A and B are shown apart, each in its own frame.
Chain A
């Protein structure tokens, strides 16, 4: 059946309407056609101008990890309690140790003028062999050590140059293994407060004070944050002294290599360590000298590989009154309940991460 004149006009109107309503075919949208960009040299704010703030990062800083799942392996090493109840047991060989590292950092506020993150972490160390019958202190330690923590990081810039940084963590450390959790909690709190200067996009410096367990026991130490990227953007330095320092080689925005050290440590509360004895706390601290490689696998999914020497700084025992810790000053004569000597194994670590924008 042939269309009438009215129907033809209707069809024409429809076609015209369709060309108006339907989206145009998307052109190459990456590079826009050339235009005279000099027109944009002289501009002014239409309303109120913006207050500018410095950001928490510098160019090429190793990416912050939002979610981490990692695995760690330590090679064979020796462990000997050297002064324990007048009895020095023979050295114990740990064939290997392995561990899980899980962490999450969730931004709660993330804008120019304020960044607040909440964090969760869980790490453990599982020893093999883990059962030692003749030595209660060693047995309590080698049943495995875990650390579970909650924390927050607040970055508050005042303007384009000055900022404050607060980091606080509360952790439960002991000879337990997730998902079980100790009934009698003995939380340990760490914190750091720094005030800093961001000189430009490649350099920031901050000074402050921290309450830390990285040395194995409670300590109050001054801290220095220094992040720097050289002008050619091939090399950089990432340091939070005295806790860690790494030299960074940036191959490109998706591959980088770090070389340096990190001091790791905690006070672990040991349950069932020694019958009829007050709470036993293990003061563990180790210096990890390492190479650390980071690569983007796909977009924001990154792989990290780390290998190095785990140099044992402290592996000693204190008695505590209940769950409360104490601060041992440099001049303190308070003796340890037991000291021990641990040799220095090699270790490697592999991790998968979701990294921050």
Chain B
């Protein structure tokens, strides 16, 4: 019985911690624009992880085919017909420390590469997105800005 109560308390504590973190962690949710302005990315939560999908493209049509752009540079041939609009390029991010999401990856449709990635929120409307290879030194940081939908 004591074991049962102890386990219950642990679970309640874990749930409370999760709930206490939620407002900070969920600050990542929303629509963001990379610095090049070529796309808009909506960050959503699936389970306890955060994912970002392309919801808008500055140039939605492929210049060669005049059809909606697909993920033609994907190293997996089976995925090359996946439409870019709706494509999840941010994957598996977890809120780790204050204003930081890690353990995730970012995909670059321009070359089909997937990079390790750390997201840091500089302020409520600005993200530092660092994609890197192996160690953070070999990487590049991009600044994303929060967007709001016009009513």
Contacts and interface: CB of A to CB of B under 8 A. Distances in A.
B145 A52 contact: no
A348 interface: no
Contacts of B97: none
Nearest to B128: A111
Chain A interface mostly = loop
Interface in A233-263: 233, 252-254
Contacts, number: 163
B35 A40 contact: no
A233 B53 CA distance: 25
A253 B112 contact: yes
A120 interface: no
Contacts of B124: 46-47
A253 B73 contact: yes
A106 B112 contact: no
A302 B134 CA distance: 15
Q: How large is the interface on B (under 10, 10 to 19, 20 to 34, 35 or more residues)?
A: 35 or more
Interface in B48-105: 48-49, 51, 53, 55-56, 63-64, 73, 75, 79, 82-83, 85-88, 91-92
Contacts of B132: 357
B145 A32 contact: no
Interface residues of A, number: 55
Interface string A13-39: 110011011011111011111110101
Contacts of A33: 86
Contact of A23 (B36, B48, B79, B145): B48
Contact of A21 (B11, B44, B137, B150): B11
B115 A357 contact: yes
A180 interface: no
B60 to A, nearest CB: 9
B148 A46 contact: yes
Nearest to B7: A14
Contact of B138 (A7, A40, A66, A232): A66
Residue among A23, A30, A47, A252 facing the most chain B CB atoms (10 A cut-off): A30
Contacts of A14: 7-8, 11
B71 to A, nearest CB: 9
Contacts of B12: 17
Given A29-B92, A30-B82, A47 B125 contact: yes
B142 A232 contact: no
A112 B18 CA distance: 34
7 contacts: A23-B48, A41-B56, A42-B149, A44-B147, A45-B145, A45-B146, A50-B143
Given A21-B15, A43-B147, A47-B126, 9 more contacts: A30-B87, A31-B83, A42-B150, A44-B150, A45-B33, A50-B143, A50-B144, A110-B141, A357-B132
